[in-house]
Amino acid sequence: MNPKADFYFNKSEKWQKELKKLRRIALDCGLTEELKWGVPCYTLQGSNIVLIHEFKEYCAFLFFKGSLLKDPKGILIQQTKNVQAARQIRFTNVREIGEKEAVLKDYIREAVEVEKAGLKVDLKKTAEFSVPEEFQKKIE
């Protein structure tokens, strides 16, 4: 456990039990706990594997390369159509996390193997922003 991350788990009013359970699961998988972007992030030799975050309606594990995971249980969620690599597993109560603990550890282990294998997500090229010619002179 990284003491720098403690504040995140202690400040939660709605999801404290759930977040602490997710923390224990990630740490049980031998990952290093860091604080990145203000949330607990679990890494393997400096590479991001999964992070924990909370929202108004749910808390979640977010797998950085989730699109490369097999997802045999069909529980990975693409946050929006524009998110290419990351996938979430969402929770609304601590019981749900407990029931899925073994599955969550399997997903984390698979994410570790994806990272060890050096697999990369093929990102689609996004549209580039260009200024119409008639406005170019006004900008310059």
48-63 tens-digit pLDDT = 999 999 999 999 999 9
Buried residues in 116-130 as b, exposed as e (16+ CB within 10 A)? eeeeeeeeeeeeeee
For residues 133 and 109, which has the higher predicted lDDT (pLDDT)? 109
Confidence of residue 116 (pLDDT cuts 50, 70, 90): very high
pLDDT tens for residues 75-104? 999 988 888 899 999 999 999 999 999 999
- CA-to-CA distance for 25 and 78, rounded, in angstroms? 22
What residues contact residue 97 under an 8 Å CB cut-off, 6+ apart? 18, 21, 22, 25, 91, 104
What pLDDT shows up at residue 130?
Answer: 56
> Which amino acid is present at 109?
R
What pLDDT shows up at residue 129?
Answer: 54
pLDDT tens for residues 12-45? 889 999 999 999 999 999 999 999 999 999 999 9
What pLDDT shows up at residue 138?
Answer: 47
Q: What is the mean pLDDT of residues 112-128?
A: 82
What pLDDT shows up at residue 84?
Answer: 84
Query: For the whole model, what pTM was predicted?
Result: 0.84
